[in-house]
Amino acid sequence: MSKADAYSAYIKDKAKQLGFLACGISRARFLEEEAPRLEAWLKKDYHGSMQWMENHFDKRLDPTKLVPGAKSVVSLLLNYFPEDKQQHEDSPKISKYAYGKDYHRVMKNKLHTLMQHIQEDIGEVNGRAFVDSGPVMERAWAAQSGLGWVGKHSLLLSQKTGSFYFIGELIIDLELTPDEPTSDHCGTCTKCMDACPTDAIPRPYEVDSNRCISHLTIEYKDAIPDFFRDKMENWAFGCDICQDVCPWNRFSKPHDETAFSPHPDLLGMTKSDWHEITEDVFREIFRHSAVKRTKYSGLKRNLDFLKSH
């Protein structure tokens, strides 16, 4: 077994011990095939109000510009599929990824722990950890490393576990054995496209953020346009529609990450609990959640919009 093989096996074993769902490796290189896609997507203005997507174009495609001397990209998945869902059908809904503690912190801690193990047991290895936190094309790297394929809804899909997981990376200057990409298994299915109430997936593998409910309820800071008045399907923060209808998600299994357990009051909140939520209750229930990103005022804006239609 070569050193690269041994190191790769070690990292995958440690990742499993730390509770990651899967770990895959790719060679750090310029993502030549992604460059025209990203450029075309930006030209169509499909990034909506996420102006930062225009920045660091080269870094987004070349990990060696983020970590000098980078040789490998280690992609990791962390399951967040919940055991229980919100109990009241008529209540405003939040995306399942926001039920528990903010994933940025939870996953970053695990990545840093993995990096410490690598440095302690392998030697002087330099690199950086990323969780949705830098100009990294995480889905492209995860697909390169064989963890799944990018589905028609633009999210990473796996035959074994669907799509309800977070993606993070370690970009490191250690030579590892890269994994082989997997093939696309969407076939002729268009369930995600057909189910989207705002037509945010105009073409397969392409999402128009301007129409995406997740973008409108989280990233978009102005008043939600009246066009979406009867199209939100009760989503107050994020949206899981395209994932919920995906046939591959019948293989999703509940996570066992205690940090992602919801606040005891969250899942039982009724329609009136949501619409009458005070800032104090918001702070208590979402103290550690990703919902904090939208702030109380942002969540109220979304709830008022839902109430008024």
Cβ-in-10-Å burial (0-12, 13-18, 19+) of 150 comes to middle
The domain of 32 spans 3-83+96-172
What would the mean pLDDT of 119-132 be, rounded to a whole number?
A: 95
Q: Cα–Cα distances in Å, from 195 out to 189, 206, 229, 239?
A: 12, 15, 17, 12
Looking at the structure, tell me whether residues 103 and 252 fall in a common domain: no
> Which residues are designated catalytic?
132
pLDDT given for residue 52 in this prediction:
67
For all residues of the chain together, what is the average pLDDT? 95
**Buried residues in 187-202 as b, exposed as e (16+ CB within 10 A):** eebebbbebbebebbe
24 and 110 housed in the same domain? yes
Question: Which one of 172, 202, 230 terminates a domain?
Answer: 172
Q: 114, 142, 172 — which closes off a domain? A: 172
Domain count for the chain, please give it.
Answer: 2
Residue 90 maps to a domain: no
237 φ, ψ to 5°?
Answer: -155, 110
Residues 215 and 295 reside in one and the same domain? yes
What pLDDT score was predicted for residue 147?
98
Q: Averaged over 38-51, what is the pLDDT?
A: 84
Q: Is the pLDDT of residue 55 over 80?
A: no
Q: 261: which 2 tokens? A: 């357990």
Residue 21 shares a structural domain with residue 116 = yes
Residue 44 lies in a domain: yes
Cβ–Cβ under 8 Å, residues 186 and 151? yes
- Quote the DSSP letter at residue 91: S
Same domain, 256 and 295: yes
pLDDT for 250 equals 96
Q: Is 216 a residue whose pLDDT tops 90?
A: yes
Cβ neighbours, 10 Å, residue 260: 23
Burial-class residue 17 by CB neighbours within 10 Å (0-12, 13-18, 19+).
exposed
At 203 the three-state DSSP class reads strand
Between the ranges 32-46, 129-143, 267-281, where is the mean pLDDT highest? Answer: 267-281
Smallest CA-to-CA distance from 196 within 210, 178, 177, 179 is with: 210
pLDDT > 70 fraction of the chain, expressed in percent and rounded: 99
Residues 137 and 196 in one domain: no
Q: What is the mean pLDDT of residues 82-111?
A: 96
pLDDT given at position 198: 98
